[in-house]
Structure 1
Amino acid sequence: MKIKLVRSVIGRPQYQVDTVKALGLKKIGESREVNDTPAIRGMVETVKHLLEVEA
């Protein structure tokens, strides 16, 4: 599964900032290939408004 950070984490609750960091994303526009596991899906669901997801 490919994820891309498309919105800033500035002004977001700390748990959302931590979740984005745990997904390995730091800068807007940065993308990453991650394994499609239930844990990753849960993290993506938590910050779905900040990400673009390609299956």
Structure 2
Amino acid sequence: MEKWLVILGIWAMCAACAVLFIRGATGGSSSRRKSEEGRARPASRASAGDTRAALND
């Protein structure tokens, strides 16, 4: 009986890890992506292009 509980526990842990891995590997919902598209760009990223242009001149 104890042996079967150990085997069942290992299989349950593998199944939980597989579910979490698959959920993390797939893309998020489309509503989350749409809300991110509407946001303004951070100031550090917005000014990065200006800095690069100044360095190249």
TM more than 0.5: no
**TM-score when normalising by structure 2:** 0.24
Structure with greater helix share of residues:
2
TM-score, normalised relative to structure 1: 0.25
- Structure with the larger strand share: 1
Larger radius of gyration: 2
